[in-house]
A and B are shown apart, each in its own frame.
Chain A
């Protein structure tokens, strides 16, 4: 009989659909009756979706570019 622990430890295989049929069936039987596991899987998926969004952020400001340019300039002069 599967427990929350089994859902948690197989979560990557579960969301990537890599589990064998028997394991999948056992996990789904447990999760079907366990609101905690249902919420766990939902928030886990949602977290990954949100984290993918972080990729679109940029932290390189015009000031950072300017200083990078100055730095590389100073490196040519010293060579």
Chain B
């Protein structure tokens, strides 16, 4: 289970080794894991690595907000993956299992670095006043009709990244998995060990907070 030849294979994947990967492109993660475990088929593992390297790093970076920490998490996760892939028994979706390993490694890192922020609650965050009327001059700051060229520019993307960074940690991770990675409420619930209702609630508050931040940034940007 922890063979040098096997690890060498992973290493060659990281640096762009292709071998017989093409044939594996349309195969599901679970099928690849099964092939790897039952037949010790290393190219199946290579495909898994190449599918997930960006996702693991992206999620770790989202949680830790620090490239050095994210890189260490990436290394931890690949090591765990190489050592413990045979403990994956298919009772969950493989991607959920791997995201969970990544989330846990990221949190461990935050704790180890004593950087775990006191998480701010957004449960009472609302964009309307006590009469139930929207605040913040939503219409006069409306940026939705700006051309794609501006909104999909590198500069605008950086602003969105900056706004997402300001979300408190427990909302940020939900937002990342749902709205950036595009996972379902059920998958996020499984990965984070939260109820579906809690996922929905965090997503809702997080999006409201983010929409306000973005409107401020885009408004400042255009002035």
Nearest chain B residue, comparing its CB with the CB of A64: B71
**Cβ-defined contact, B161 with A50, below 8 A:** no
Q: Is the CB of A47 within 8 A of B210?
A: yes
Asked whether A50 and B138 contact (CB < 8 A) given A8-B208, A60-B57, A65-B14, the answer is: no
Residues of A within 8 A of B166 (CB): none
**When chains A and B are docked, how far (Å) is the Cα of A35 from the Cα of B71?**
46
- Determine the distance from Cα of A59 to Cα of B61 in the docked complex, in whole angstroms: 9
CB distance from B95 to the nearest CB of A (A): 14
Partner of A55, one of B133, B134, B180, B200: B180
Interface residues as binary, A35-59 with B (CB distance below 8 Å gives 1, 0 otherwise): 1111110111111101111110111
Further contacts, 4 of them, CB under 8 A, given A53-B157, A69-B15 = A39-B141, A40-B134, A54-B161, A66-B15
Given contacts A36-B138, A66-B15, contact A72 B214 (CB under 8 A): no
* CB <8 Å contact, B144 and A42: yes
Q: A3-B131, A44-B207, A69-B11 are in contact. Are A50 and B156 (CB under 8 A)?
A: yes
Judge whether B179 and A6 touch: CB under 8 Å: no
- Give, as a whole number of angstroms, the nearest-CB distance from B36 to chain A: 17
How many chain A residues touch B (CB < 8 A): the figure is 43
Instruction: Using A53-B152, A54-B180, A59-B58 as known contacts, say yes or no to A72 and B128 having CB atoms under 8 A apart.
Output: no
Sorting the interface of chain B by its residue count into under 10, 10 to 19, 20 to 34 or 35 or more gives 35 or more
Q: Is the CB of A4 within 8 A of B82?
A: no
In angstroms, how far is the closest chain A Cβ from the Cβ of B174? 13
Binds A, one of B24-32, B73-81, B102-110, B113-121: B73-81
A22 part of interface (Cβ distance < 8 Å): no
Question: Within 8 Å CB of B145, what residues of A?
Answer: 42
The answer, yes or no, to whether B215 is at the interface (CB within 8 Å) is: yes
The 8 nearest A-B residue pairs measured at CB: A5-B132, A3-B132, A42-B144, A39-B142, A4-B134, A39-B139, A36-B134, A46-B144
Per-residue 0/1 for B119-133: is the Cβ within 8 Å of any A Cβ (1 yes, 0 no)? 000000011100111
Q: Is the CB of A5 within 8 A of B128?
A: yes
26 A–B contacts, CB within 8 A, in A order: A3-B133, A4-B134, A5-B133, A36-B139, A39-B139, A39-B141, A42-B145, A43-B211, A46-B143, A47-B210, A50-B157, A51-B160, A51-B179, A51-B180, A53-B157, A54-B180, A57-B157, A58-B54, A60-B57, A64-B74, A65-B53, A67-B75, A68-B78, A72-B11, A72-B14, A79-B2
